[in-house]
A and B are shown apart, each in its own frame.
Chain A
Amino acid sequence: MSDAPLRGVIVSHAAVAEALVAAVRAITGVDDALVAVSNEGCDQQALRERLERATDSQPALLFVDLPGGSCLTSSLRYARGNAQLAVVTGVNLAMLLDFVFHRDASPAEAAKRATEAGGKAIKVGVV
């Protein structure tokens, strides 16, 4: 495995991924950890090509917006059989904020951590 820190690739419908990258940058100042990929205008092959460009043969964790649909099916197909890649679904800002400061991990370890960090952020607000 490469020693380079993990890259995060956010895969979403419309401009969700781009907005999340901007939010992480605004909060943390980190601007080299995340790449946005939208499925806008893509069939499955075109989305795969966007994923190839975004990961650039580097170890990466793919953060997908929904637990089904074209973003997920393309991401899983792309990551299948490649230990340099892992996939999590239900991306949220909390898991991304945690990720950008914990990138020295394997994709599988980072995926597990992301689901924990993202899950902890989902709460009923006490009013």
Chain B
Amino acid sequence: MSIGLYRLDDRLIHGQVVVGWGQPLSCRFIVLVDDEVRASDWEQDLYRMGVPESVEVLFASVDEAAAQLPAWESDARVGIVLVGDIDTASRLASQSALRNLNIGGVHHRPGRIERLRYVYLSPDEAAKLRALAASGVQVSAQDVPTARPVPLTEFT
């Protein structure tokens, strides 16, 4: 098995990821790809809290993640790769063979329009996701495994 979920979620490691997806996937490692968190031991300790000891938590910059993705893909364990924003997802995709991306949560901010209950995007952000899809990444939205996956074309 390899990476069971590539997820974009602005809450990064939280209940939906650890429990909602982690349990049914039997996830044994989570990779948090974020340059700022990678540079802060305190932030890393924060994100480790609440993750069961049976699940390894790895932190990577975008460059490190792009280099390590093949190894994670061939890991015998099931893993989840997380990014917190669209620019990080785009940078990772441009440097690696990212094939699919689950939009799990992009919440409201000024300038963003509600697309789904848990996805708010500015026109520029929607265009970036469409560009990602055009480059060959399969993009869909699904907050929890029991929800219907919503294709990008339905919300952008």
Of B50, B108, B118, which one neighbours A69 at CB under 8 angstroms? B50
Complex Cα distance, B50 from A44, in Å, reads 17
**By the criterion CB–CB under 8 Å, are B49 and A41 in contact?**
no
Chain B contacts of A13 at CB under 8 A? 15
Stretch at the interface among A18-26, A70-78, A97-105: A70-78
Q: How large is the interface on B (under 10, 10 to 19, 20 to 34, 35 or more residues)?
A: 10 to 19
Tell me, yes or no, whether B10 is within 8 Å of chain A by CB. Answer: yes
Chain B contacts of A77 at CB under 8 A? 46
- Give the total of A residues in contact with B, Cβ under 8 Å: 18
Q: Which residues of A contact B (CB under 8 A)?
A: 13, 39, 41-46, 66-70, 72-73, 76-77, 80
**By the criterion CB–CB under 8 Å, are A72 and B11 in contact?**
no
Give A73's nearest chain B residue, CB to CB: B46
Chain B contacts of A43 at CB under 8 A? 10-11, 105-109
Tell me, yes or no, whether B47 is within 8 Å of chain A by CB. Answer: yes
Tell me, yes or no, whether B31 is within 8 Å of chain A by CB. Answer: no
Min CB gap B55→A, angstroms: 11
